[in-house]
Amino acid sequence: MRVLGIETSCDDTGVAVYDSDRGLLAHKLASQLQTHGPYGGVVPELAARDHIRVLNPLVSLVLDESGGRHVDGVAYTVGPGLASALLVGAAFGRALAFGWGVPAAGIHHMEGHLLAPMLEEDRPEFPFLALLVSGGHSLLVDVQGIGLYQLLGTTRDDAVGEAFDKTAKLLGLSYPGGPAIAQAAQKGNPDRFHFPRPMTNRPGFDFSFSGLKTYARNIVEGLELNDQTVADVAWAFQDAAIDTLIIKSLRALDAHRHQCLVIGGGVGANIELRRRLGSLAKSHGFSLYYPRSQFCTDNGAMIAYAGWIRLKGGQRDRLGFSVRPRWPLTDLAPIA
Ligand code: KG4
Ligand code: ZN
């Protein structure tokens, strides 16, 4: 089965074709960095307009590259995300499926992230613990199978990616903040600042990241912001954010007797997070899976893959469509 996947939940237009026999045939991403960069964050209306502009040519390119115009199904993100941006991909995808006479499947963006490691050769097997960390979510999920998701922990305020973005902004770094902080941190002095590890001394698996941003602001206010100070604050912020994610993940692995940890979402591209988890996996004896960096951040491949899984499982969306800007992952139906 060959599935076209369309992702437009935020500021990246992602398109891909996944073939259940041959794997990923083609994938492309149109980034809107230049559109939103000057605003230091995503402007929803501009995001939607950019999706409209690039979607048609991008789909054409990807179909050509996949070796043919025939697909057996179309999948598109219907939530969670920015309503106006979601509407573009959902309307386009649903219309294509109708025009081609093939089934359509609206996909949950975070299920896309959760399944993205399955695009790699070395893939996890159920059950596992998933740490999903993006610009909008910080989730620890017990995953027993497709749609069998139990939410163990979530953020009480900012998502971890959002905290990276906001801290980067106050340090005068470019958007998106995650990669900018990671880069600045490389030259940071590890001994200059120490940030707290929020909520780690409380039981449970919930996160809270807005305090880290405030902590950074308080430090920065009393200082001259030269390159070294930016690097030092970036290092200390990243250290605390990563440490917090790791402490809670290890706790959840232990409490729920999981031997496998799966990472997904944009913050999963963070090299330092991967490095530390990699050595902990060895010392603690759990297996660790994540997609290549470009499939951690938003992309069409994960939507095409999740689309194949859902279509294979019998999902058939009606002709009308709607988007779900807020949509708990735990609302998804299990499939056999
Ligand atoms: O999954 P994603 O591409 O979009 C959402 O679903 O939100 O995640 C974007 C988030 C942004 O907050 C971005 O700053 C963060 O992921 N991010 C990173 C890195 N690359 C992207 N955070 C830390 N380190 C990175 N290398
Ligand atoms: Zn995402």
Residues 132 and 280 in one domain: yes
Strand partners, 77: 107
Q: What is the pLDDT of residue 222?
A: 84
Residues 284 and 302 in one domain: no
The residue contributing the CA closest to ligand 1 atom 7 is: 135
Q: What is the DSSP letter of 299?
A: -
Residues 248 and 302 in one domain: no
Which strand (E) or helix (H) includes residue 80?
none
Dist CA 160 CA 265 (whole Å): 10
DSSP 167-207: HHHHTTPPSSHHHHHHHHHTT--TTT-----TTTTSSSS-B
Dist CA 5 CA 304 (whole Å): 4
DSSP 61-77: HHHHHTT-S--SEEEEE
Ligand 1 pocket test, pick from 31, 111, 297, 327 with the greatest ligand atom count within 8 Å of Cβ, gives 297
By the 8 A CB rule, do 235 and 189 touch?
A: yes
How many A from CA of 268 to the centre of ligand 1? 8
By the 8 A CB rule, do 309 and 126 touch?
A: no
Atom of ligand 1 nearest to the CA of 265: 1
Dist CA 277 CA 216 (whole Å): 24
Residues 69 and 176 in one domain: no
Dist CA 113 CA 132 (whole Å): 7
Which strand (E) or helix (H) includes residue 294?
helix 293-296
DSSP 111-157: HHHHHGGGGSSS---SSEEEEEE-SS-EEEEEEEETTEEEEEE-BSS
Could you tell me the residue range of the domain that residue 133 belongs to? 126-290
Question: Which protein residues are within 6 Å of ligand 1, measured from CB?
Answer: 10, 134-136, 161-162, 164-165, 176-179, 182, 265-267, 269-270, 297-298
* Residue 177 included in any domain: yes
Residues 224 and 91 in one domain: no
Question: Residue 18 sits in a domain of what CATH number?
Answer: 3.30.420.40
Atom of ligand 1 nearest to the CA of 297: 3
How many A from CA of 335 to the centre of ligand 2? 23
Q: What is the pLDDT of residue 332?
A: 98
The tokens of 190 are what? 């590890």
Amino acid symbol at 301: A
How many A from CA of 21 to the centre of ligand 2? 26
How many A from CA of 232 to the centre of ligand 1? 21
How many A from CA of 213 to the centre of ligand 2? 21
Nearest to 218 by CA among 202, 196, 185: 196
The residue contributing the CA closest to ligand 1 atom 21 is: 266
Residues 49 and 130 in one domain: no
Residues 252 and 168 in one domain: yes
Q: What is the pLDDT of residue 40?
A: 87
* Residue 121 included in any domain: no
Residues 284 and 139 in one domain: yes
By the 8 A CB rule, do 304 and 66 touch?
A: no
Which segments in the chain show pLDDT lower than 70? none
Domains held by the chain: number: 2
Dist CA 30 CA 207 (whole Å): 31
Residues 240 and 137 in one domain: yes
* Residue 120 included in any domain: no
Nearest to 147 by CA among 313, 298, 12: 313
HSE-CB at 299 with a 13 A cutoff on CA atoms is 29
Nearest to 7 by CA among 64, 79, 62: 79
Q: What is the pLDDT of residue 68?
A: 87
Residues 259 and 279 in one domain: yes
Q: How far is CA 314 from the centre of its chain?
A: 25
HSE-CB at 301 with a 13 A cutoff on CA atoms is 21
Ligand nearest to the CA of 238: 1
Amino acid symbol at 214: T
C-alpha distances (whole Å) from 335 to each of 78, 145, 147 are 18, 8, 6
